[in-house]
Amino acid sequence: MKLLNGKEVSAKIKEDIKKEAAEFTVQSGRKPHLVAILVGNDGGSETYVASKMRNCELVGFESTNIRYEADVTEEELLAKIAEINKDDSIDGLIVQLPLPKHIDPEKVTEAIDYKKDVDGFHPINLGRMQRNLPCFIPATPYGVLLMLDHYGIDTSGKHAVVVGRSNIVGSPMSILLARNSNPGNCTVTLTHSRTKDLKAEVLRADIIVAAIGKKNFVTADMVKDGAIVIDVGINREDSTETKSGFKLYGDVDFDEVSKKSSWITPVPGGVGLMTIVGLLKNTLEAAKGTIYSG
């Protein structure tokens, strides 16, 4: 078993981003700038946004966190997004999900200028991704591709089984792995909670991407010998053993599955760190105007 080490790969790519950001800053007289909007006080969301902001600072970006109480109106939020869309000093804008129930996430996603949509959730970016055109790719699947690329893993012709079909992970992952690109060129099966005999589907996989949100869901009896296993899951459980008061678990039973897999990502220390890298790369591209100019 070999480890797909998110800590090592993310550190290396962040060094490259830092150099490029410094060059951009010298040439343009300003730093790449990411704005994150956070609504309410969800603990997980606060941790994710704080980590995104911290990583922006680390690579030499400017970052701004705009916070709203959970009772902010949809109109107020949309007005702020419209204001940011027009602000040339801001390159990327993300609105942390989930949002309170009275705010329509689809409306919010579509309100963001697709040229600043560094989360890659806007339908224009999703459509362009499907057609293999330059676009912002959702950060988590982008991070997975960067990881596979870093280790030189040849995915061409392999059978990939993605478990989970969310808009932010499973669904774009399945599109990206099927594209005529490298990494890509896989034969893809996209599975979900209505899939019949999930175990039989996963057992056929050369590459498994688990994005379910259930601790240790993928067990060793579901995994073929030599499979490449990408664990996207982040499941938090209270713990007295850690300083933070919680422990993170993936969607894959790492201890048992790692005995059969050829490559595997740990949790923590795997895909989560690569997601941040995906977001940073998108923000840099937005600043440089290499995907969309003007």
Q: Where in the sequence numbering do the catalytic residues fall?
A: 52, 96, 119
- For residue 271, state whether it binds ligand NDP (rule: CB under 6 A): yes
Write down the least CB distance from residue 83 to ligand NDP, Å: 28
Q: Could you tell me which stretch among 16-24, 115-123, 192-200, 201-209 binds ligand NDP (CB under 6 A)? A: 192-200
Write down the least CB distance from residue 231 to ligand NDP, Å: 8
Backbone angles phi, psi at 227, to 5 degrees: -70, 155
One of 49, 212, 230, 252 touching ligand NDP (CB under 6 A): 212
DSSP 162-226: EE---TTTHHHHHHHHHSSSSS---EEEEE-TT-TTHHHHHHT-SEEEE-S--TT-B-GGG--TT
Write down the least CB distance from residue 233 to ligand NDP, Å: 4
One of 92, 172, 266, 272 touching ligand NDP (CB under 6 A): 272
Q: Of 84-103, which residues contact ligand NDP (CB under 6 A)?
A: none
- For residue 193, state whether it binds ligand NDP (rule: CB under 6 A): yes
Count of residues in contact with ligand NDP, rule CB under 6 A = 25
28 labelled binding-site residue = no
* Lookup result for tokens 């988590």: 140
Residues listed for the chain: 294
Nearest to 117 by CA among 84, 89, 145: 84
Q: State the Cα–Cα distance between residues 248 and 267, nearest whole angstrom.
A: 7
The residue nearest ligand NDP at its CB is: 166
Sign of the CA dihedral running 182, 131, 109, 230: negative
Compare residues 55 and 191 and give the one whose CB is closer to ligand NDP.
191
DSSP 18-52: HHHHHHHHHHHSS--EEEEEEES--HHHHHHHHHH
Q: Binding marks (x or -) toward ligand NDP, 152..171, rule CB under 6 A?
A: -----------xxxx-xxx-
Note whether 70 and 98 are within 8 A (CB): no
Q: What residues line the site for ligand NDP (CB under 6 A)? A: 140, 163-166, 168-170, 191-195, 198, 211-214, 232-235, 271-272, 275
